[in-house]
Structure 1
């Protein structure tokens, strides 16, 4: 057989195999309904609702082993379902399996009606009310706060201003020094910081004044542009590789569902987030004010666990590690984990380490 005939035979063999995979993949996709792509499915009970903000308590899965209740606070930029993406890759389920009494704030889907809400409202009103209700329901005087990303900034501010209600503060992928990426040795770290600092303040004002919100679709496009090759190839390369594997296809679709469910960010809070924190770095500089009070990180004297992702291009590790120089606690722990901003929560490898780190740290400080 000539070389050309061998190459032709190999081509047709590969073509037939790929055609078979695509046909099987079509059958897989045809059998999946939107209702099958379930995210945030861990059972929970609604405790209170105010405006669009809801407080939930997760149903226990094992006997409670850690006494202090834990409140998960996600940010306004995304949805909390990243922490409960699917049963086998869920921080929520994993923590429940460790015996935690787990609570959650769901910010809902803000719109133009929430255009005037500020970070002051979210920290000093909604979070404070949730903490008070948890204490009333459980009989505790203090709780543990578990903040994720922007939610970590909220819980950091709350602890600084209301430390009498906080027993422990756990932070994950949380920015504190929004300018620390300038000296970060990794070139791919801090894309979001660089882009945000490049915005003209008046353009931020125009967007918020005109729309009342920072649109979720707008932020989705920005995040996609930060990893352009990943965004370009996930539908025509990654998807083709898994198209005939239903389990992997479901994982892919759950992630896409979470990405598509990005809420609008309330305008006034967004203005603070972009201008006062990202551009002016007021939190780290000790100039950030909420409800007329300066947020002094030195006032945080409760135990603090600060977890960050080593390959996080959205919140670079240096932006999180900066808390160590400012916090007033003598019980401060840093844990770097492999993975990126989202991978820390959805990767089977890093997620197991994340759960163990949090549960072990809390267990050592319980009671």
Structure 2
């Protein structure tokens, strides 16, 4: 940037003695304009009439706060698919609206999809480790799907849910027919080495907070995500002011933003494993992340596997997800054009993600 700086300085010098004063005034005016546009976007979002009214799929199983939702259409006998979302966001990102729903799309195409709904941790779940969630709740949900359908299930994991699905597929090849990993992180340090240093520095003070509260509050998690792209909020709310209030694009924006603001806390022991073990020490890559004492090892996955990686993902950059694909034997890689959330909810989600995923599942999960 040094050359650009010298060029700007020379341009200001050539513009006359009052150039700096005029520049300061223009910057102040532009800053005020952007600030007002940002606030206007927030107000337009807050007062938009859209409210999510989509009925949830029937609940067919529950343990504690964890439930299993059945999206099968009447008479369906297709291959079962167990979809696993992240623990820190609501599961309905996979069923956001009638037109933006991976779950309903898979059902319409003849598959038998089931969605794990973690919900917010209760008193029991606040003491959970990842072993409790995977070896306990997730395996029980898998067993219920197999019982209901009489078939092995394909397992689809999204984001953090992909790592849970990975561990499940390694542990239960007797009940898993195929594995799909959507925007799933694995190397938590590559390209973000500073984050690892920061997380190690925060381990003691944040660990004390987690121990005291018993969980990582939603606001803290939201602040961490915001830090990945500090300018995102300004850009998206400013862009929202340019949308017609009654347009489908405006409704889609509000639906997605409502979901993003509807997060859940993360159980204390799980937070320690993820924040300090994954992001601080990069335990998955180092082979130190264990479930019931057994390392989660991608090389041990024996079922057909598809890894789908969005090219514009800022939450799980491709450099974080690619090492997982490289280590799973014979895994198929599919590179996508979208972003982390846009891959599921964007205007091209059906053609670029839903369709290819459905066709792969029909070929592999039914075998």
Q: TM-score, normalised by structure 1?
A: 0.81
The equivalent residue for 2:229 is 227
Cα distance per residue 1:218-275 (max 9 Å; x no partner): 111222233222212433x223212533433322221121011100011101110112
Cα distance in structure 1, aligned partners of 2:227 and 2:289: 30
Count of residues paired in the alignment: 325
Cα distance per residue 1:190-216 (max 9 Å; x no partner): 99x558645422123112112111111
Task: For residue 136 of structure 1, report the CA deviation from its aligned partner.
Answer: 1.0
Cα distance in structure 2, aligned partners of 1:77 and 1:31: 26
1:8-157 → structure 2 map (5 Å cutoff): 32=49, 36-38=50-52, 41=54, 43-60=56-73, 64=76, 67-111=78-122, 113-140=124-151, 142-157=152-167
The equivalent residue for 2:272 is 271
Contact 2:71 2:104 in 1 (8 A): no
Ranges of 4+ aligned residues in structure 1 off by more than 6 Å = 28-31
Unmatched segments (≥5 aa) in structure 2 = 1-39
Cα distance change of structure 1 residues 43 and 109 upon mapping to structure 2, 3 Å threshold? closer
Cα distance in structure 1, aligned partners of 2:147 and 2:304: 23
The equivalent residue for 2:183 is 173
Provide the aligned C-alpha RMSD in A. Answer: 2.5
Cα distance change of structure 1 residues 112 and 50 upon mapping to structure 2, 3 Å threshold? closer
Structure 2 SS opposite 1:241: coil
Contact 1:45 1:59 in 2 (8 A): no
The equivalent residue for 1:6 is none
Of the structure 1 ranges 124-133 and 279-288, higher mean CA displacement relative to structure 2 is found in 279-288
Cα distance per residue 1:15-62 (max 9 Å; x no partner): xxxxxxx9xx98x98782xxx5116x365111111111111111427x
Equivalent position to 2:204, from 202, 205, 211: 202
The equivalent residue for 1:162 is 172
Correspondence 1:324 to 2:340: no
The equivalent residue for 1:290 is 291
Contact 2:183 2:316 in 1 (8 A): yes
Cα distance change of structure 1 residues 199 and 335 upon mapping to structure 2, 3 Å threshold? farther
Structure 2 SS opposite 1:209: helix
Cα distance change of structure 1 residues 196 and 342 upon mapping to structure 2, 3 Å threshold? farther
